[in-house]
Chains A and B, each alone.
Chain A
Amino acid sequence: MTISQEDIKKIAHLARINISSDESILLEKKLTGIMELIDQMQKVDTDGVEPMSHALNISQPLRADQVTESDIRKKTMPLAPETQESLFIVPQVIE
């Protein structure tokens, strides 16, 4: 699988990362190299094999939905780049 400039543009958009045109040219070769490595998988016959998502194939444990920590707003809000009272400030989203 070859990664084209068009592919890079598309996935960079999906990943929300700006890629400069210089970067994009360097990436084309490197990402294609990685995809060629990955394509070694295609020669393997996996018909009838169950996909493995957890090493020990456990099911997701459930627990009661209880409040376990008290209000941590005072600790977490100061970490944000921009806040006002208890709100995160972002550029306008809705016109």
Chain B
Amino acid sequence: MLNLSLKQLSQQLREKAFSSEELTRFFLDRIKKHNDRLNAFITINEEESLSMAKKADITIANGNQSLFTGIPIAQKDIFCAEGWRTTCGSKMLENFVAPYNATVIQNFNDAGAINLGKTNMDEFAMGSSNETSYFGAVKNPWNLEYVPGGSSGGSASAVAARLAPAATGTDTGGSIRQPASLCGFTGLKPTYGLVSRYGMIAFASSLDQAGPMAPSAEDCAMMLNVMASHDIKDSTSLPHPKEDYMTSLGDSIDGLRIGIPKEFFGEGLDSEVQKIIEDAILEYQKMGAEIVDISLPNSELAIPVYYVIAPAEASSNLSRYDGVRYGYRTKEYDDLMDMYFKTRQEGFGDEVKRRILIGTYVLSAGYYDAYYLKAQKIRQLISNDFAQAFQKCDVIMGPSAPSAAFKAGEKKEDPLAMYLQDIYTISTNLAGLPAMSIPAGFTKDLPVGLQLIGNYFSEGHLLNVAHQFQLSTEWHRKIPKEID
């Protein structure tokens, strides 16, 4: 069960090689065995998971199953799941039990999947190392002294250590792709608006997008089939026709034009990572792809723009945590103002406070034009760069992150160094484009991911481009030795 793909799990469940209850129990046992060391999960609800599995087994016995019936999926703790504690990695929501399902959770429930548990994450998804979680840092299963990346670090650690066959993540500036790169598996951030944000705790609403995290591109395609849906409960959800992302897997990529942006191979990129990325691109050339040199001239502005837009939106979104309707409330206070001030002082961690303060500053009277409006204009320029590039190529490739995983504590006190982790991923969030990270090799026994960026709604194509690489390489099948 450990190394079967989602498709194989589905087949074996259908053929009754094992039951969903056995499968779910198998992964729950692995979580029990390894979670103390990895800290990948915040909440496990064995009784509820097994109850879902038993129901799935009845569905299978009656022959009414769909592809996902009975498959356990780990859910990032940013998604509200009815009856489950949903913390978003924050003290503010330490005891929050969601009263409804996020659309992503509902879609998995409707498909018959099992909620295996809620995974750890950086507080309110703000971080690139999963060290800002109120529930403690997550470890990278390839080396426990290293970070798994973030913010979807718990999902990443769980998938890499095979504590779950697959997991969900969210990506605001790289939070699916960077951890996928640092933990050695496949992650996809879809086109903005493809997956509903309803019930997904908001960080930066114009950038947040949920996506799959799993060993292979094929697994991700199967998950995206469930996750993508037009949702009237999310006004930014796009009325895109439902697609089957599995059907394009197997198309030839002969003649594929791969754009290589020179800006992704400059200063700051680890030389061994660069070599691995270049080798992966060579592998594509062997498969018949052509290389096109492209330029994304405004790339270096992605981080400054992001650190205006994301904190601005976060400062607005996080104003809802006031200790009145739900969440944490300070114990002692003199009056209403005192209650707000202390609740937010005690409920939020340092990184979240920094971003709320930056966001408040750039939106405050007199600064709006100089910062927020300016950032939105440069965001348009960044988006235009991609539009021009896609006239010359079908897919853009480069590194997912500037280095392999770094040691825990190394960048924790240096926000600027941490922010640079997302230097290659942020621009696609700003443009709203779909992008993936796929395993491409190892440096010093740590995984390295290749990033693939596609045009709007090209997920099917992108997943196939990734799948073709995975047909001729084994990187995505590697499992950390420390975890048995």
A: residues with CB less than 8 A from B are 3, 7-8, 10-12, 14-19, 27, 30-31, 33-35, 37-42, 44, 46, 49-56, 58, 60-61, 63, 72, 75-76, 79-82, 88, 90-93
Q: Which of A33, A56, A63 is close to B232, meaning CB atoms less than 8 Å apart? A: A63
**In the complex, what distance in Å separates the CA atom of A15 from the CA atom of B479?**
45
Of A56, A76, A88, the residue contacting B432 (CB under 8 A) is: A56
Contacts of B324 in A (CB 8 A): 80-81, 88, 90
Report A56 CB to chain B, min CB distance, Å. 6
Q: Considering the complex, which residues of chain B in the window 425-463 have a beta carbon less than 8 Å from any beta carbon of chain A?
A: 430-433, 456
Q: Is B303 an interface residue (CB 8 A)?
A: yes
Mask, B367-384, CB within 8 Å of A = 1, is 000110111111111010
User: Using Cβ atoms and an 8 Å threshold, which residues of chain A touch B357?
Assistant: 8, 11-12, 15, 17, 27, 31
For residue B333, CB closer than 8 A to chain A, the reply is yes
Chain B residues in 8 Å Cβ range of A39: 304
Query: How distant is A53 from chain B, measured CB to nearest CB, in Å?
Result: 6
- Asked whether A92 lies within 8 Å of B341 as measured between CB atoms, the reply is no
Distance between A21 CB and nearest chain B CB, rounded to angstroms = 13
CA distance A52 to B395 in the complex (A): 23
Contact of B354 among A31, A49, A90 (CB under 8 A): A31
B102 to chain A, nearest CB (A): 15
Is A52 within 8 A of B371, CB to CB? no
User: Given A8-B357, A15-B360, A38-B371 in contact, is the A72-B329 Cβ separation under 8 Å?
Assistant: no
Contacts A34-B415, A40-B304 given; indicate if A52 touches B383 (C-beta within 8 A): yes
Most buried by B among A42, A52, A53, A88: A52
Pick 10 A–B contacts, CB within 8 A, sort by A.
Answer: A16-B319, A33-B415, A42-B370, A52-B376, A53-B376, A55-B191, A56-B456, A58-B236, A79-B325, A82-B329
Q: Is the CB of A31 within 8 A of B358?
A: yes
How far is it, in angstroms, between the C-alpha of A82 and the C-alpha of B97 when the chains are bound?
A: 16
A38, B367: Cα distance in complex, Å? 13
Inter-chain CB contacts under 8 Å: number: 169
Chain A residues whose CB sits within 8 angstroms of the CB of B323 once the complex forms: 81
Given contacts A46-B381, A82-B329, contact A58 B362 (CB under 8 A): no
**Chain B: number of interface residues, binned into ranges:** 35 or more
Contacts of A27 in B (CB 8 A): 354, 357
Contact mask B63-107 → A, CB, 8 Å, 1/0?
A: 000000000000000000000000000000000110110000000
Interchain nearest-CB distance for B256 vs A (Å): 24
B162 at the interface (CB under 8 A from A): no
B-side contacts of A10, CB under 8 Å = 364
Consensus secondary structure, chain B interface: helix
How far in angstroms is the closest Cβ of chain B from A47? 9
CB-based nearest B residue for A72: B99
Contacts of A35 in B (CB 8 A): 358, 361
Of B305, B308, B373, B432, the contact of A55 (CB 8 Å cutoff): B432
Chain A residues whose C-beta falls within 8 Å of the C-beta of B364 in the assembled complex: 10-11, 14
Q: Are B336 and A37 in contact (CB under 8 A)?
A: no
A52 and B372 CA atoms in complex are apart in Å by 11
The answer to the question of B344 belonging to the interface, with a C-beta cut-off of 8 Å to chain A, is yes
The 8 Å CB contact of B339, one of A37, A50, A91, is: A91
| Closest A residue by C-beta to B344 | A17
Chain B residues closer than 8 Å to A72, beta-carbon distance: 99-100
Interface of A is mostly: loop
Q: Tell me which of B298, B339, B345 contacts A17 (CB under 8 A).
A: B345
The reply on B265 being an interface residue by CB < 8 A is: no
Instruction: Name the residue on A nearest B353 (C-beta).
Output: A17
The answer to whether B193 has its CB under 8 Å from any CB of chain A is: yes
In the assembled complex, the CB of A93 is this many whole angstroms from the nearest CB of chain B, namely 6
B360→A46 contact, CB < 8 A: no
- Residues A41 and B308 in contact in the complex (CB < 8 Å), given A61-B235, A81-B323: yes
Pair A52/B377 contact, Cβ less than 8 Å: yes
Whether the pair A55, B380 counts as a contact (CB closer than 8 A) is: no
Given contacts A17-B345, A41-B375, A91-B334, 19 further A-B contacts (CB under 8 A): A12-B357, A15-B319, A17-B344, A17-B356, A19-B345, A35-B361, A37-B307, A39-B304, A41-B308, A51-B377, A52-B376, A55-B191, A63-B232, A79-B325, A79-B327, A80-B326, A88-B325, A90-B324, A92-B335
Indicate which residue in B193, B362, B377 contacts A38 across the interface (CB closer than 8 Å).
B362
Distance of A49 Cα from B385 Cα, bound (Å): 13
The answer on a CB contact under 8 Å between B360 and A80 is: no
| B406 at interface by CB-CB < 8 Å | no
Question: With an 8 A cutoff between CB atoms, is B289 at the interface?
Answer: no
The answer on a CB contact under 8 Å between A16 and B99 is no
Shortest distance from the beta carbon of A60 to any chain B beta carbon, whole Å: 6
* CB neighbours of B390 from chain A (8 A): none
B341 & A33 in contact (Cβ 8 Å cutoff)? no
Contact with A along B223-247 (1 / 0, CB 8 A): 0000000001001101100000000
A17 to chain B, nearest CB (A): 5
Instruction: Kindly provide the distance from the CB of A1 to the nearest chain B CB, expressed in whole angstroms.
Output: 9
* Chain A residues within 8 Å of B337, by CB: 16
A37 pairs with B303, CB closer than 8 A: yes
Q: Does B27 contact A (CB under 8 A)?
A: no
The reply to whether B303 and A55 form a contact with Cβ atoms under 8 Å apart is no
